[in-house]
Chains A and B, each alone.
Chain A
Amino acid sequence: MNLHTLAQSLGVALPLAQMVIGLVALAAFVGVNAVLLVWMERKVAGHFQRRPGPYEVGPWGLLQTVADAVKLVGKQLFTPPGGDRTLFWAAPFTAFLPVFVMLLPLPWGRALIAYPLNLGILLVLSFAGLNVLALCLAGWGSNNKWALIGAARAVAQSVAYEIPLLLAVLAVVFMTGSLDFAAIVQIQGDMPWQWLGATQPLAFVIYVVCAVAETNRAPFDLPEAESELTAGFHTEYSGMGFGLFFLAEYANMIVVSAVATSLFLGGWKGPVLPGPWWFLLKVYALIFLIMWFRWTYPRTRFDQLLNLAWKWLIPLALANLLVTAVLVKLA
């Protein structure tokens, strides 16, 4: 029997069943990926520094993240006195849970979409804004000066970089006339020159820079810079609270890479291999690039960070959008 009859027999609508199954699968994917990405980050960091990274625990150190997670779970959950307890513990969940919603409309394969939505881009961009709220809650609930400064910086950074992100995505939307991820991927072809990244290179570059800034990754990781702010907005979190923020950062990296893959790199399209493999390959290539950035570039100063967004990326993205609009209209 197929999914339709199964859904009917259970008394649920098919789209709902599909979404629930998709959500469970995505949760499993994010969970496994978090472990994998932490391992990958440490290995990549090691190799960039001509050292091996973890290699003792498990083959090639694969179980190192599991060991770290067990250690984190075993730690005492400590709430800083004087802070707002509810907000303090709401923050990690607010950072982590929107990731699942953001992964729903992405096309992982030709028919592999958890929740096909013709407003997919709008959904992703709006839930990305919730990350800012999580940072605010973390900084305020910690009752800690540095956490508050870190949170304020993080909010300013996220808000500033959301605008060029939106403008870059909008250029793609103008070109394709659709907010649906599946439709945008369908328009692109198999080969790199048939991707939207080839026709919109500036938008792609701006998107990647904004994605790195939105996920608070180096060189834009001032909010969580250890040497500057003793870990910024997540100073007061230990054990699983910190683990959730950590998890949220890597999950957000997956989200922005997956969105970039769908919009600019042809999504699941590619010769020979089946769709989902190409999608994963492109996502991991982008994540590797983001990690490469982290171990190459020095951290930007806060005013440099904001200047980059307001004085460079926004005008460039606007110019790009203007040119795109003109060309689309003329075509």
Chain B
Amino acid sequence: MHCLDTVRERAKSLWSLVVGLRVTGDNMLRPQITVHYPRRTVESLAGYRGHVQLVGKADNPAEPRCICCMMCVNSCPSACITVQVKEEAPAPEAPKPRDKAPAAPAEAVAGTAPDRAVEHGGRLIPRTRDGLVPPPEAPAAAAKSAARPAAKAAGKGEDKAGDKPVKKAAKKAPGIWSLDFTLCSLCGTCVAVCPVDSLEYSSNVYLAGRDRREFSGMDMLARLRAGAGAAKSGPDGDAPAGGEGAA
């Protein structure tokens, strides 16, 4: 009996060899997956993980969703992301909260248009996107902090109590968002940790350049604007005219 089982087992193994041949034979008859580059190209690959790029807002594709929380900067293992908040013009008069904008606008940072700042509680808060002043519940806190002497801009502890209601309305936007792709380890941590889903992978499979410097400081803001249909810019992202759609 045992030897019959062995024979049966062996016969099954031999049959599996034939099945294997059939599998590869079928494979040979199926169409090829290869795309003959450069005669043909792929449009985009859905799952392709290229470099990281910014995602525009739904109503304003040229502006990134980024809120400058710096989570991507801090979590990047290769330290290749540089984000700088769009700095606002410091109000020449001192602590008048959310009042009229200062007379002289500050200089632009990184080629973006100057924005108007509202000084509140000793900290400069950029205007909100649609230009509205911060919501009305701020006044109580504003009055409280107006009483305080003009503190240093980076006084975190001081501002904490008074800032909370105002923080809701004030949003940060990046003035510089730069990726050093030559250092990037393609881990995707930045995409994963972004709380507003402002980062996504590019699906450009044909990314190539002739110089390392084209990739050592990729200006993602310029790319976003270019992609949103604004003025074209090169891979180094010389900034297009003006900061349209800024705050």
Contacts and interface: CB of A to CB of B under 8 A. Distances in A.
A51 B20 contact: no
Contacts of A51: 32-34
Contact of A297 (B17, B27, B33, B36): B17
Interface in A43-58: 44, 47-52, 55
Nearest to A55: B36
Contacts of A55: 36
A48 B25 CA distance: 7
A295 interface: yes
What band does the interface of chain A fall in when counting residues whose beta carbon is under 8 Å from B?
Answer: 10 to 19
A47 B28 contact: yes
B176 to A, nearest CB: 43
Given A48-B27, A49-B27, A50-B27, A292 B21 contact: yes
B30 interface: yes
B208 interface: no
A296 B32 contact: no
Contacts of A50: 27, 30-34
B23 interface: yes
B24 A295 contact: yes
Contacts of B32: 47, 50-52
Nearest to A44: B28
B34 A48 contact: no
Of A47, A52, A296, most B-chain CB atoms within 10 Å: A296
Contacts, number: 31
Interface string B201-224: 000000000000000000000000
B142 to A, nearest CB: 67
A295 B24 CA distance: 8
A90 to B, nearest CB: 38
B23 A296 contact: yes
Contact of A48 (B28, B33, B36): B28
Of B23, B28, B30, most A-chain CB atoms within 10 Å: B28
A51 B36 CA distance: 10
B12 to A, nearest CB: 15
Contacts of A292: 21, 24-25
B20 A297 contact: yes
Interface in B35-56: 36
A109 B36 CA distance: 42
Interface in A256-305: 292-293, 295-297
What 5 A-B pairs are tightest by C-beta distance, nearest first?
A296-B24, A51-B34, A47-B28, A296-B20, A48-B24
19 contacts: A44-B28, A47-B28, A47-B32, A50-B30, A50-B34, A51-B32, A51-B34, A52-B32, A52-B34, A52-B36, A55-B36, A292-B21, A292-B25, A295-B24, A296-B21, A296-B23, A296-B24, A297-B17, A297-B20
Given A50-B31, A51-B34, A292-B25, 16 more contacts: A44-B28, A47-B28, A48-B27, A48-B28, A50-B30, A50-B32, A50-B33, A50-B34, A51-B32, A52-B36, A292-B21, A293-B21, A296-B21, A296-B23, A297-B17, A297-B20
